[in-house]
Structure 1
Amino acid sequence: MRASSSTFISKKHSGSHLPWYTIYPTIQEFSSAIGAETYEEWLRSLSTDDAVSLYLHIPFCRSMCWYCGFPTSITRLDNLIINYLAVLREEIRLVAELAPQALPVSDVHFGGGSPTIMPPGDFLSLMELLRGRFAFEKAANIAIEVDPRTFTTDMAEALQKAGVNRASVGVQSFDPIVQKAINRVQSEAQVMTAVQNLRLHGIGRINFDLMFGLPYQTVQSCRQSAMLAIEMRPDRLAVFGYAHVPSYRKNQRLIDRAALPDIAARAEQASVMADTLVAAGYLQIGLDHFALPDDELALAQRTRRLRRNSLGYSAETRQTVIGFGASAIGRCGEGYVQNELPQDSYNRSIASGHLATSKGYRLTVEDRVRAAIIEQLMCYLEADVPAICTAHGFDPIHLLSSAKQLHILAEDGIVDIDNGLVRVRQECRFALRAVASAFDAYLGRPPL
């Protein structure tokens, strides 16, 4: 390996400035040229032969977490949430009328924000509407994000009645010093109570979200957080690196930049969390997920059915994702769409009887090839470039010869290349986004 040290490599290929590649091309390439009329055409062209995934964005929280990078609104008033849900229900009706009747649904995801702060009765009526407008498969997966600080028994009962079978619990860190620095104070007891409440109500498939790279976080506190999480035995864990972009998210300006760990420390924190989870029997999945061996995510990785899309890593999501709510992203066969981000704009569009699509992207053949390569890398740490190109009728020489960064990665010992098969070395998993970016034709180009 030419690099003088692992610290040098982590600095050179850390990827802190790179996309997460949940979708390709990334949202920076979306254009207002793809609007509501185009999305209507794409919805009408869907086939009932293929099931779809649904995503519902509930952009409300009771308090602002300073690390958060998502568009959310802080409210103590249920009326604001109830009014938003009324608009959301109208959007569901509009989309269902455009899509084929009895469109099959394989899975539903509620995100935000904190979707479990909505009134339990409203959640039940929302699920009733979805089931009435779409044809849910018998074994449909229904997942929801949970904030343990506001999770109630009434909501747990509603989730059970609605058929929810997976919950993702936001933890981030168990270190009280870190929690105070990110304005998310929650005790270990609160998290345990939420987990017990979920399991008591038949929701046994549980995910945890943990983070590294947070202010005042240390290697020891990262290890301790991982160990405390292990004691509660979630089926999956996502271990995300904090991305500090205060120019984009004003709430992050409340975080003390001087308290953030440097690149080398971040790499060490990520490594100790991974080692702790793997030692406890979890399998590492893709870039930042961990799963017990009998979890669907681990099974999907073994059987090459793992997916990575706008919903992250999944064993269930389909090629078509229909997004509902302000800022929600969806994908049809032809490309991507995104709803209006400001809630006022979203509300006005739906109230006028039109879809709230603000921008999108129509995929080219080359986009599909590059997306397939990037997804394979992000899921399996390897991609057979010639095989993927051949499947799409595309010349692999063009991709391999134009990926100059790929050869630098090979020289630095990050990847091995054998007849077009690109394989990321296991010890260099942290550089996965840098490898994926070698196939990004748009990276560094001014946004549209």
Structure 2
Amino acid sequence: MSRAEAAGDMAGIRCKLSGKYDAGAEADVISWFKMLLGLELEPGMKEMEKQLKDGQHLVKLAKEVLRRTANAPERAKKMVLKANTLTAPFKQMENIQTFINFCSNYGVPKTGLFQTVDLYEGRNMPQVLNCLQQLGSEAQRHNMDGPTIGPKPTEKNIREFTEEQLKAGQSIIGLQAGTNKLASQSGMTMGGVRHVSDIKVDDMTREGHGVIGLQAGTNKLASQAGMSFGAVRHVADIRADDMSKEGQGVIGLQAGSNKGASQTGMSMGSVRHVADIRADDLQKDGQAFIGLQAGTNKLASQAGMTFGGVRHAADIRADDMSKDSHAVIGLQAGSNKGATQAGMKIGSVRHVADIRADDMNKEGQGVIGLQAGTNKLASQSGMTFGGVRHAADIRADDIDRAGQGVINLQYGTTDGANQSGMSFGSRRIIS
């Protein structure tokens, strides 16, 4: 049963292989068969396939080549070369395989051999011709007595180099680095930079050192009018015709606008306030006064206070207080029951409440939180330069220096308080 005809991709591959069929190689093979066996073969790819398909002519050719080669390889000499004359397909393919085995044992490389179906089914006739030519090349290598075909075989060409010759090659730049053949150094200055590729700079002069190449863009139609010598070069050409020294102290609109704002009453070197607050009657005499925002010390008494004692948040009796309780946190400070120190680092600041601050960074230290309020819609009108910033505008007309040593009622009162049992210099407990 014959194989089905090639179709689809197989048909395309067979057409490509057929396109490699060389008529010159075919002529060499036909002439070799004629000179060695006296056999006349018809030219043409299909004709060659039909005449060599049974393998008998190939076995006869191998037998003749082996007979004419005195120093043939031992593996080839041991082969029994006898063509099978039966017409059965498997017998014909056996003849083809016998010829392939002979070529391999004779010295033909594996890349030069062909498959049995390449000849029997005509799949790759160019490879069949190539194998016959390489068999001729190996016959030349083994000094066969008679005509041969194919290219001359490659032979060893051993060269010996002295130590001086080997070292001389270390100063030669290989072709991988390119070549300077036909390159000219015309116009090159001594000490110039070596380029990746040889570039002619015949017409280069010093006048061109100040020219910006087109790779850096172009300054065509650009104007330097109004630019001062030594000024910074901008990314784009910007006209600055009207720029003068007088404008260096002006704040641009990008920084906001001070239109409508008044500097009346501001003193030189004073601190800039968060919001503009009027303080028309502020004088140096009042800088040591405590404003009403801090409460009042009217009617407050210092009775019972010791010199140097710590001021407490509230007057609390501590008659039975002892040192054992110094390490106890009162309930006014809350409770740490159920609190965990997980994630806290040694030496870190103690918070009023346990707050995780894993992602805290330095960038946030300069930000004023909303707890500090906002200065939106605030006015600086009437503020003096260098004045102290108050929480709110409160008149403090009646404040005098006599009350500086008086504790105001915002801190509580000591009336009815007793310091009995307190030791001098001891620490004041909140609770």
TM-score by length of 1: 0.16
| Greater C-alpha Rg | 2
**Which has the bigger relative contact order, CA under 8 A and spacing at least 6?**
1
Structure with greater strand share of residues: 1
